Structure 1
Amino acid sequence: MPPPMPVPAWLWVATIAALLGLIVIDLIVVNRRPHKVTIAEATRWIAFYVGCAVAFGAGVWIFGGGEYAAAYFTGYITEYSLSVDNLFIFMMIMASFAVPAIHQHRVLLIGIMMALVMRGIFIGVGAQAVQRFSWVFWIFGGILIYTAWKFAFNNNEDEEYDPNGGVVRLVRKLFPVTDEYHGSRLTIKRDGRRWLTPMFIVMIAIGGADLVFAVDSIPAIFGITQDAYLVFAANAFALMGLRQLYFLLGGLVEKLVYLTYGLAVILGFIGVKLVLHALHENELPFINGGEHVTWVPEINNWVSLAVIVAVLSVTTVASLIKSRRDTSRGSELPEPEPKPGPEPEPVDPARN
């Protein structure tokens, strides 16, 4: 892996300010009038955010070089593809709390803003860890390989997820919560007390769910690049576009039946890449006498980018083909014949 790109403090400040500006624009343009987001509107916003992400990557290429640009685009695509799997959980949360359609965009926006802050903390801690302790790569690699195994052979996470678990239950115990929504308000005052609304609880659930997914995604992107700036930017752009993807895909997410297996391959691939890098950087005394293992190959970012794009393309096309075949087979099945009812009793003419 290339060393971290030198990034001056002013560039960090400018990048964070630009991201905050995008959030403010989103709040002003979309949330000034709560409404149900249409497919056309979601498509335009996705094109806008993807365009921003590509423009950022072009800037990295021009000022940092192709290797760093490849690392950024690989990380961005990986984070975005992992985020698609989050949509299953988001849909469950929205359905569980019966969130009105006109407020779903606001819920996702604030929940993702919370996730950005929490991931920023994770990234800062992770960047310091990988720079100071080479054995962290073993831990990250093990996490990804284990997660890949779960995705491939124990794919029941969406059924087992409890939207009312953990933090949500704690908040309900500590604060009174109303039974009904009050527009987009997070709290109301009733009987001299401050009450939380279900809107507040939903946002906590969304932010908490994304924090759980960060346990997989943060090690994954550190397996691609150790550059905290690129890691943060890739996460930010992936999360910013996730909200609109929620409204665009809708029921289509359920048709991506092979996506989880594709993500398992990607996570397993990055996990192996991390293990190989850990061998190169090895300082553990019980492995090769504490010396670097230089004879094992390392996987560069261009190969990683090609593998990830190929896996996502194959799994998406295969999923859509299977969905189309299942739909056509369902339409070809003959309609069940009506069950014969009891025969009518013969009418006795003498009764008439």
Structure 2
Amino acid sequence: MKPNTLEASRLLKPSKYAIGLDRTFMLPVRLIIATMLVDLQWHEYALIAEATRMTSSDLSGHLQKLNGRRYAETKRAGQHSYWRLTELGKEKLSSHIDASRRLFAVAEECLQSFQQNDRSAGNTGKKLAQDYRAGATIRELADSYGLTFYSARETLLAEGVLLRRNGPTPPPASPEMVNSYSNGSSIHDVAKEHSVSYDAARRMLIAAGVKLRPKSNPAKGEAARTPPIAAKPINADSQVDPDSTTAEMVRKYNDGQTLEGLAEEYSRSYRAVRTLLLEAGVTMRPPKIQLPPTPPGMVNAYNHGWSIRQLAIKHDMTYSRTRRVLLAEGVVLRGVGRPGSAW
């Protein structure tokens, strides 16, 4: 956790602890000069320069600054100049030193507080890491320790914790979940049945050692390229028990029953029924396109010269659907380019 910087700023308010500090003595070299002159005795300029190891021009600038504030005064004797601190300068220097002592004491207190907070933050980081490794999420840790999500995350990273990508590791799937999936239910059905998310159900099945079935959806464009194959009847080489529910579903599908009808009859999902049939060696029939009822007069209008485009506009249908309806009625379509009659 971060040190309490608000508390530190409260301790360092100038109105309370900086009373008596004088900007004139803030520069260390000027403070040294004033300390040399604090005995109120006259000191020769050359000796001051030698003691402070300053050039004549630099020393002159600092002395003139003290003199301008009436903290120091000067006199000349022949070619030599002498300097000393005034009573006002001595008083201001004493106040500055006392204020500095108070400020240093507060600074030491703040430093100790910061160090204690740092140690506390280190302990908190270890506790966060321990709880996270035990399965808690970053959000739960943030709420528990009064941190933001990002502060908790940064603390864990600082502790060298390898963050999980998909949340805590779920427990293995229960035998009921495994049996349900093994009997043909989809992961979506298993998740809904046990009130968990799809991702959680999938991870739980994997954790239980279940080998997930491959997706049965054909690749894009595969259905259009692969010619339809008739459904295979159950034979002696089939792995399906002839007396099982799956075998019964296969027979009904071969007799023309739809996947939707089988799903409703056996209380299974569409996907579960389809998966069972595929695993039984059944090749799915191509989907049937449901055509609308033939509008009255459409066939006669076409035979009397109307074009497919005109019929589609008249009956509010697409061109391709109008064409399929006519073909389904056994109409022999005219060749391309033969004009139809006028409206």
Which bracket does the TM-score occupy, shorter chain normalised? under 0.3
Normalising to structure 2: TM-score of the pair? 0.19
Max Rg structure: 2
Q: Which has the higher contact order (CA 8 A, sep 6+)?
A: 1
When you count helix as a share of all residues, which structure comes out higher? 1
